[in-house]
Chains A and B, each alone.
Chain A
């Protein structure tokens, strides 16, 4: 019952998201044919093709149905200058974006969990204040500033890592890791600050619980109390935000991909905007938005499974 309601909601939201994405082309200031084809709009064959593909002769709702029908059959549209299809772009570029996403999330957790535990264990100590203040400050630093400073220090001055470019995993494992190290750090820094603060706050609340006092009275070592008794019940909000971010990062890597010239979806999105390939932009936005909705849906389901109280709220 609870799952059925969630699925119904998912269907409604996906429909609304697709409708809004479809309407993006109507934001174009000029006529769609002129804006999509640019200088080639004078070509009668091409412009007839665009008019036919987008069903421009039909009223808006009919056009939406045609468009949605195409999407459901795996036709997200294509670029008119080189015939590149949105589906090809996704197949080639989604793995790059996903690799960056997973690496950044793992690094952020690896930094945040120990910091939050150290911080929460002695709340208000000198170390806690330093960690809390640093993570607060980090939240104010945009990822693009982190990125260019990282390039300046590690690529230009120290020459440890490449400044831009991407090496495929199949070509060289170390080369691949080297090429995503700086972008991963640029993304992970802000994430780790968010996670540290969330987990710290929840840990502090958990550590006030009586069963923690009980465990302490039994003489259990601090490490064991923190890892086995406190961490798990404190990780709900962390897991929620972690899940939401996983969805958000599919599109949130745009700027970092662009700065480091990583051939992911975000890079192609910016490229398509620059080349006025509006159909490609529309297709990629749809994929990113639906990915985000699905990620949130899975977080909701997982949350309901982990904590039955949610299902009855």
Chain B
């Protein structure tokens, strides 16, 4: 599973990948945006869309391919509509991804902002806490927390958020450190602005974009983490659909070659979604580099 190490790595390597401005708004920008939009709309509107039930089995059509028996994407190993399960499963993936990342940004971002701006003792104490959380391998920490808390959407989200917090603290602190040394911050303080004002009006706006670029990549990591938990039987309990449990549930149908599409369709959807978030993060980073270099 791509760890947060690889998430940071994606971003670091992207810095060397700045593209020419002519391609800045090419398909690599709008295709991921459109796909994320579709997935998000599906997740939000799942209960009002004209979908079949994601839980009810159609025993006349079990494990049938796409387009058979009124099932646009076919049915799974016990005859449930794959499209409906995909759309409802998007809720799980996006909840885990977006909520965990939001918590990570708010808690981790605050820690990083304070540590990077005040330095000294504040920084030592805050970063010590962060280092301890980072001392656990991310996947094992997520597995351990869900194993002890019990499996539910809330607990999976909590576990991923706890892992995301130290990562965001690190990234935000880094961005704050560079920003706090800039002339306009010194100027603001020289003019007698309070620390609070400088943090909110001068530092924060300059930290938001790099953190947002990182956040997009972490949403992808979180979606994969949910899938991994589902494989270990630790994500949302059945029969509720999640992309991970859909891939895992039909893995025997893939292994014996009778109905590989039941696993491959959700796997493809997960892959496209994660790829889209990575590309979006990449894009934001590229824009940032352009902005930084013109400063």
Contact = CB atoms under 8 A, between A and B. Distances in A.
Nearest to A144: B231
Given A142-B1, A259-B231, A292 B147 contact: no
B148 A25 contact: yes
B171 interface: no
Interface string A242-278: 0011011011101100110000000001100110001
Contacts, number: 164
A152 B254 contact: yes
A113 interface: no
A289 B145 contact: no
Given A197-B9, A285-B140, A289-B137, A252 B149 contact: no
Given A145-B267, A248-B137, A140 B278 contact: yes
Contact of A152 (B1, B224, B232, B260): B260
A156 B257 contact: yes
20 contacts: A20-B132, A139-B278, A141-B271, A142-B228, A143-B1, A145-B247, A145-B270, A148-B267, A151-B254, A152-B254, A156-B256, A194-B2, A245-B5, A251-B137, A254-B143, A258-B232, A269-B143, A270-B143, A270-B233, A289-B135
Interface stretch (A55-63, A85-93, A198-206, A215-223): A198-206
A248 B247 contact: no
Contacts of B260: 152
Interface stretch (B11-19, B179-187, B207-215): B11-19
A136 interface: yes
B251 A148 contact: yes
Q: How large is the interface on B (under 10, 10 to 19, 20 to 34, 35 or more residues)?
A: 35 or more
Interface of B: 1-3, 5-6, 9-10, 12-13, 15-17, 128, 131-132, 135-141, 143-145, 147-150, 220, 224, 227-228, 231-234, 244, 247-248, 251, 254-257, 260, 263, 267, 270-271, 274-275, 278, 282
Given A139-B10, A143-B1, A190-B6, A289 B136 contact: yes
Give the residue among B2, B138, B267 with the most A Cβ atoms within 10 A: B2
A50 interface: no
B148 A148 contact: no
